[in-house]
Amino acid sequence: MNWQSALKGYELYIKLEKGLSKNSVSAYLSDIQKLWDYSKGELGYNSYSQLTYDDLSNFMGYLKEQNQSPYTRARLTSSIKSFFNYLMIEKMIPTNPSELLESPRLGRKLPDYLTVAEIDLLIAQIDLSKAFAHRNKTIIEMLYSCGMRVSELTHLKIHDVIADDQLVRVTGKGSKQRLVPIDQYTLKLIRLYLIEERNQQQAQKGEEDVLFLNRFGKRISRVFVFTLVKKLCQMAGIQKNVSPHTFRHSFATHLVENGADLRSVQEMLGHESITTTEIYTHLEQKGLRDAVLKYHPRNNSD
């Protein structure tokens, strides 16, 4: 079987059996395409079955020479392992050449986040007298107060907001759903947005229950949210490299700083593994350290 046929089968596998999102599927296929291009161009191979561990290891070295970041190379390693695992499951290769392939070591640096004051300053730039201002303010508040991914926000439905229980139903990666608590202030903003703007719009067919609509009555796009955040940061004079995902990191960081345990944060973020949430571990440890220094009797003795 050639590369094209294998890729089609692999695409169905990660879509249907692994339940990956559209964006994840696209990323995995793009990574395997890079390996295919290298295989043909640098090695002269015409089949995935010709690839050995040494070939894959050399490919990772080639990426490093091309100044690809450790994070990019780590993602590619994951994609390659996933692809060859699929080939093994389907008995399309006798051995797995990626089995011993190691991912580059990554630092555990906490991503950039915004302070509460910076978030308030950013939101203050929204002129509520302008069109769609209530929508834009609600978008920013929900990104921060619920810690959701931008793709999760753009797919929110009106019925996902369970106001009586102060919860939002969020559909994450692999169509997995989770319930995230939402504060009364943000619920008030949602109600105001629905009354002042959303209920006045004519939604396009199939979009009637979508919470956030653009001026054409269709769901807002990820690009729109990125553009909105960048514009507000520019107006507020915030120099940090801020994206919609920064609000997710801010949500988690502020929770941990104020005493939330990692398991609770993991559940609210929708991380499948606790290891993903562990980038916030040093904040939790700092809180423990401060508590010991403040309250332990030995530390207060002369």
* Token pair 């093994």: residue: 88
Neighbouring residues of 210: CB distance < 8 A, sequence distance ≥ 6: 155, 156, 157, 158, 203, 218, 219
Asked if residue 139 lies in contact with residue 154, where contact means CB atoms within 8 angstroms, the answer is no
Active-site residue list: 149, 173, 245, 248, 271, 280
* Token pair 């007298």: residue: 129
Query: Mind spelling out the 3-state secondary structure of the chain?
Result: CCHHHHHHHHHHHHHHHCCCCHHHHHHHHHHHHHHHHHHHHCCCCCCHHHCCHHHHHHHHHHHHHCCCCHHHHHHHHHHHHHHHHHHHHCCCCCCCCCCCCCCCCCCCCCCCCCCHHHHHHHHCCCCCCCCCHHHHHHHHHHHHHHCCCHHHHHCCEHHHEEHHHCEEEEECHHHCEEEEECCHHHHHHHHHHHHHCHHHCCCCCCCCCECCECCCCCECCHHHHHHHHHHHHHHHCCCCCCCHHHHHHHHHHHHHHCCCCHHHHHHHHCCCCHHHHHHHHHHHHHHHHHHHHHHCHHHHCC
